[in-house]
Structure 1
Amino acid sequence: MSNLKIAVIGIPGKWSTEVLGDALEQRTGYRLVLDMAEVTADLADGRLHARGVDLTMLDGIIVKKISQEYNPNTLDRIELLRLAENKGVRIFSHAETIVRMIDRLSCTMTLHNGGIPMPGTIATEDIEAGVDAVERFGGAVFKPLFSTKARGMCVIGADQPEPAIRAAVGAFKSENPMMYIQQRLDLPGRDYGMVFLGGDYLGTYARVSQGDSWNTTIQDGGKYAPHDPPQSTIDLASKAERLFGMDFTTVDVADTDEGPIVFEVSAFGGFKGAKEGIGIDAAGLYADYAINKVSKG
């Protein structure tokens, strides 16, 4: 057992956060699981503290979840971690890397500029351009820039009168000034989470839609299942994740008639899909990885 001190930032009480805390405690004898809402940055004395612990004195911090729901305030929470990182604490993954991935548009631009195939995507503040996107795509999915697990997303179909489309686009814009719009694709009722640790491919699980839900998220009834993708798809996902350099991530991929496409690269990655879908103890592997990195300095 090592004497390293590695904390977990996440949602205390949630399975994925606690199982990572358990894995680190089993290996190091140290356990500290925090919500970022507990963390205070004191720039006067250079301390980042919570529960009486100066986080700048830790060996490492693994960020499993930065907040329950993504929003612009999430970016501020990540900025606090840069104080500890500047003091030499190893953050998994690097704070600036996480920042690039929390904002859906930032992640998309990186993937697009890296030559990664994605659904047709429009980013605009113009309602006319939003209406045109729905009609041109034959239906579109409107997504908030800060969200996870399909929260706040809506489908606007092209099979309705133009005034109804305009009203729906306007309603979305009222909550999302910069509209992120993706072509709704005819997918086979499943997509895939391709798991990477330290750039190494670990395996793939499928999220399979149940019933008539337009998305495959577990919150909307989707189920996990194993999947064995071809090497070409693994290579595509690997290319996508290398654009960000995350320590642990999941690349969301789907098959289309034109070949595989990437929806996003996750800022944190999913433990439950890896566990239930393909039997991988991602928390244990991540703990071992972090311990090894911190030990080497």
Structure 2
Amino acid sequence: MSQAGGVDALPTAPRPDPSVAHNARVWNYWLGGKDNFESDRAVGDRIRSMFPVIGEVARADRRFLARVVRHLAGDLGVRQFLDIGTGLPTADNTHQLAQAVDPRSRVVYVDNDPMVLVHARALLTSSPEGATDYLDADVHRPEEILAGAARTLDLDQPVAVMMLGILNFVQDTEVAVAIVRRLLDAMPSGSYLALTHPTVELGGEANVAAMAFWNAHASPPIRARTGAEIGRFFTGLELVEPGLVSCARWRPDDADEATVPQYGGLARKP
């Protein structure tokens, strides 16, 4: 848990199954990490042969995270972050980015992958002034997430809800929309929603076959959505410029950064 609670509060992680490729580990492989098994690398290589830009998608998504957190913490003054679908720790995790701007920032990470739980202690290194916590919870259970987050975050003050590459694991769009609505309904005015989501638009047509292969050989099952479908997650919110775009084109540090078939956006709750 956070420095106040101690890491001993973390649940015991179940043993990861090395025989079945899993999203967090495959994503880690595409990002150049070492926390993956042979099954993850085999599926990752096959997906990359079918959908060659997937590595760039993974890197663009990570760069989007860094730009969004710095904008939220630096320009918008947000000091609380609820990061759902954390994935395996890498460089520039949400708490590191936010606390570099203001050491008082408080971050709660949420994931339900056993491998992420194994490495969760790496996410729980906070500045003395701030706090971090980790919840072993499923995105399909927003009430559980909110209850756990309230141990570390003040839900009467603005919170940035981060949902990068997680809603694509919620198969039913109506259910996904309801999850986002429940989370945002619990947040006060001035809170934000940041998300990324794969698509077969923006040059992502090869994603159709790649996702079909993934769903037959890895877990959890994944799906793409159109820009119009993804836009529904922001209903009632105020999109921050430049709106819903390829995540690589959201306020890029490099004006020449190539478009990738992964939407990204940030919006404020009025």
TM-score norm. by structure 1 comes to 0.31
Greater relative CO, 1 or 2 (CA 8 Å, sep 6+): 2
More strand by share: 1
- Normalised TM-score (structure 2): 0.33
